[in-house]
Amino acid sequence: MAKTQKKTLGLALGSGAARGWAHVGVLKALDEIGVKPTVIAGCSVGALVGGAHLIGALEEFESWARSLKPLSALDKFSLKVRRGGFIDAEPAFAAFREFDRNIEDLPVKFGAVATDLANGEEIHLTRGSVIDAVRASSAIPVVFHAVRHHDRWLVDGALANPAPVSLARKLGADVVLCVDLNAVPRALDRFDAPPPNVPAVIEANTAAQPGITGAVAKLIEDTQTAIKRQFDFARARKDASPQLFETTYAASDIFQMHLAKARMRAEPPDVLLRPDMRDAMPTAFDRADEFIEIGYRAMMDERGKLDVLLNN
C-alpha cells in the first residue's frame, strides 16, 4: 500500500542492457516499502522496464527476457541489414502490442530518452505509443535498426543521456531517484599496471631439508604454489592483449559512465543508486534473479534517505 507522500517521486532508470533486471528489483523494493513514483523517465533498458511496468506487461516482459540466451535470442528478432543495423526488433516488440497504450493515458507521467541521428540531439518521447517510444530509446546503434519517429530517425538514448535525471525533473518530480547501471564500468582491470618484469619463482626442495615437519613442508609448498600462480597470472596479463568484444563492452561502459557523471554534475539526482554490475555482460539475461536482487538491495540500502526526502 502506497504511503502518503508530501513530495512527488521521479525515477530515472538508466541504460545497461541485461543489467536492466536491477530496475525490476528497485521497483519491487519501492512497492514493498509503499513508495509510489509519480514520474518515470527511462533510457534504453530503463525505458523498457519502466514502460512495461506502466502498461501492465512487466510480468510478460520478464518471462520473455528470461528466455533470451546469447544464441537463441536471434529467434526473437529478425536479421535484416538495413536502417543502420543488423537486427529488426519489431518482431519482438510486436508480441507486446496488445498491452500498448498512449503515454498521455498512463496513470504515471512517463518519458523515454532517444537520440536524433541527424543532429545528435537528445529527444524526449512523452506522447504517443509507449511501445514505439521504448523501441526507439533502446535501438542500440549498428545492432538494432534505427526507428523512424515522425520526421526523425532515432537511436538509443544512451548516446545522449544514459541516466535521465533531467527528464524526470522536466516531468515534474520533486525528488529524483536515479539508478545508474554503468556507474561501475566493465573496465578491463586485468591490464591495470602489470609489473614490467616478473621475476622467476625460486623452487625449494622442502622434502630434502631435515627437521621440517610434514605440516610445515605442506605450508611452504602451498605458499610457493600460490606465489607461482600469481606470477603466472602476472605474466599472462603482461603478454595479453584486449579482444574485440571485451573492448567493445568496456568502451561502451566507460563512455556511458563519463557521460552520466557529466550530466549528473549539472543535473544531480536527490538519491543515486550505483549498483556494482561490472561483472554483468550486456547479454546476461539469464542472470535475472541475481540482478534483480542487486537492484532490490541497492534500493533498500537507501530507503531511509528516500523517506526523509519525500516527507521532510
Determine how β-strand 122-125 pairs with β-strand 39-43: unpaired
Specify whether the CB–CB gap between 136 and 150 falls below 8 A: no
Specify whether the CB–CB gap between 41 and 133 falls below 8 A: no
252 is catalytic: no
156 is catalytic: yes
What's the rounded Cα separation, in Å, for the pair 135 and 145?
Answer: 10
Catalytic entry in 15, 44, 138, 166: 44
What are the CB-based long-range contacts (under 8 Å, 24+) for 244-248?
246/188, 247/188
Catalytic entry in 15, 138, 156, 252: 156
Specify whether the CB–CB gap between 23 and 50 falls below 8 A: yes
What's the rounded Cα separation, in Å, for the pair 160 and 243?
Answer: 27
Specify whether the CB–CB gap between 274 and 185 falls below 8 A: no
At 17 the three-state DSSP class reads helix
Q: Which residues contact 29 (CB under 8 A, 6 or more apart)?
A: 295, 296, 299, 300, 303
What's the rounded Cα separation, in Å, for the pair 130 and 112?
Answer: 9
Active site residues: 44, 156
